[in-house]
Structure 1
Amino acid sequence: MIDLYFAPTPNGWKISIMLEECGLPYTVRPVNIGAGEQFAPEFLKISPNNRIPAIVDHAPTDGGEPVSVFETGAILLYLAEKSGQFMPSDLRGRYSVMQWLMWQMGGLGPMLGQNGHFKLYAPEKLPYAIDRYERETARLYGVLDRRLGEADYVAGAEYTIADMAIFPWIMTHKRQEITLDDYPNIKRWYALCRARPALQAGLAVMKNAINRNPQADEKVRETLFGIKS
């Protein structure tokens, strides 16, 4: 059994989608990030970067003590190895997946996170910051759209953990004021992924706990963004 320490965010959904896709049994351990539960000492033992998600695998393949893993890329790779799914076994295929996984972690996620922050949550509108992250978001969307003009899925012909990592961030396109009509290859891929029952099941985890307006609560705002009134 795997414990999934989770909140309903793009990063959290990456892992709930993967667990549903590969059929591994898991238990959701909610982490109320608005209340600061990610800073609790017991959680920091599992995720020292005080971020969700994290997992604890109580039945690792080596038969030893439970294994805890934090950082979404590491978790996806761990689950792919454990399940033997969604990661090619050949050299070129494997590194195609890893390249795009690292691209998401180092580029798409952080840049879309900043774009969303300055558009939606910042206490004042900063034109320079908004323009900076809008431009970088558009560049990254362009990179992904070109790639998906070459292949059915991000890393090639097959659906992999790279798609699972990228999809939840593209799912924020409407709130980030992006239209997929401007990116036809992403639009095709998005519909293809969205139709997967396991992906839908992963997105449904703690759906009722989504906080779409964290900036509206003073304590939540300070906890998540360090913004004091």
Structure 2
Amino acid sequence: MQALIASLSHVLKAVLLALFSSGRGDLASLSAAGNRNTGIHRALEYEAGSVVSCLFSAGIFPLANDEAPYMSKAPYVPPQVWKNEAPSGGQFASINRPIAGPTHDKTLPVGKHPLQLYSLATPNGVKVTILLEELLALGHSAAEYDAWLIRIGEGDQFSSGFVEINPNSKIPALLDRSVEPPIRVFESGSILLYLAEKFGAFLPKDPAGRTETLNWLFWQMGAAPYLGGGFGHFYAYAPEKLEYPINRFTMEAKRQLDVLDRRLAESTYLAGDSYTIADIAVWPWYGQLVRNNVYSAAEFLAAHEYTHVQRWAEEIAKRPAVIRGQRVNRTWGDEATQVPERHQAEDLN
């Protein structure tokens, strides 16, 4: 094979030299020949020399269906020191930056309730509104809250007021004004744990049950970045579809679903027989994933195969507090489901 590649390289280079020497600009016949064997093209890309490689890469010799394979592009060589010079691309490129801190001064609004939530109805955001609605359903009137909309696409999370609550500039962020001085809580998992402990609900008190709940809560915190920043980004949001990262993160997403499926084959909920903050944390990501409400990827991931996750996901989706919580700070989809801000229970009627 190496000999064949070398021979083809010399032949093609000779032909190219002759063509360019004679002033011919029409390479259609040679381009068509290159079209017929993409395997040879791949080998030539790496082995046959810079002239042929550059012409293929430039599209002078287009591949069949004008579709270049992932490895046909010149490999990226990282610089000695990275600089933020090229646009990152993707759906959220406008809000990505390599530094922290506020970009503008703005004081956050404050409502009448002790709990002030600043959020958006993303999977991480609805974790908190679902828990707050569950607490209210149990009769915890002190869990009443004001939910203010943070438009991350417009950079609200980089305001000075928001950064004071969450220096990481990510939603959700909570301010508990029932105490003095007020307590700031950021990171969705931390907020769930804080509220569960504050109200003594959805977190078992026995050591074994509490620990199992926290096991799955922290599992979600560690696993979801691979689902969101990995699979979700490259499958749904990246400026182009690339085979390697999609395959890599699809494998991990399916492995995570299998972890959940095996656990839910053993118990009704993640921590056992009781619904806890572990379920509230995991459901907006993985429950909605198998229900095709995250990245529209259920078919691609063969989500129907995870029957125990499906059972669990549908059961939780029917809970009234879950239905209400998903609507808070929502600004897309069916207008009837959108509640950009929530300041009283009647806002969800």
TM-score range, shorter chain: 0.7 to 0.9
Deviation at residue 112 of structure 1 after TM alignment: 1.3
What is the aligned counterpart of 1:186 among 273, 285, 309? 309
Query: Residue 225 of structure 1 aligns with which residue?
Result: none
Point out where structure 2 has 5 or more consecutive residues left out of the alignment: 1-113, 137-142, 334-349
**Partners in 1 of 2:274 and 2:297 — Cα distance?**
28
Query: Residue 91 of structure 1 aligns with which residue?
Result: 207
Mapping for residues 47-196 of structure 1, pairs under 5 Å? 47-60=166-179, 64-107=180-223, 109-113=224-228, 114-170=230-286, 171-173=288-290, 174=292, 175-177=296-298, 178-196=301-319
TM norm structure 1: 0.87
What is the aligned counterpart of 2:159 among 6, 26, 40? 40
- Residue 26 of structure 1 pairs with residue 145 of structure 2: yes
**Partners in 2 of 1:172 and 1:47 — Cα distance?**
27
TM norm structure 2: 0.58
**Partners in 1 of 2:252 and 2:129 — Cα distance?**
28
2:148 and 2:329 in contact (8 A); partners too: no
1:8 and 1:210 in contact (8 A); partners too: no
Instruction: Tell me the SS of whatever aligns to 1:85.
Output: coil
Render the CA deviation track for 1:34-90: whole Å, top value 9, x for unaligned. 001111111101011110001001114xxx321110001110000001111000000
Deviation at residue 102 of structure 1 after TM alignment: 0.4
**Partners in 2 of 1:159 and 1:210 — Cα distance?**
28
Deviation at residue 115 of structure 1 after TM alignment: 0.7
**Partners in 1 of 2:302 and 2:134 — Cα distance?**
27
**Structure 1 consecutive aligned stretches of length 4 or more whose deviation exceeds 3 Å:** 177-180
- Residue 16 of structure 1 pairs with residue 135 of structure 2: no
Root-mean-square deviation (Å): 1.2
1:115 and 1:176 in contact (8 A); partners too: no
Q: Identity over the aligned pairs, expressed in percent?
A: 45
**Partners in 1 of 2:145 and 2:280 — Cα distance?**
18
**Partners in 2 of 1:128 and 1:149 — Cα distance?**
32
* Change beyond 3 A, Cα 1:119–1:9: same
Q: Which has the higher contact order (CA 8 A, sep 6+)?
A: 1
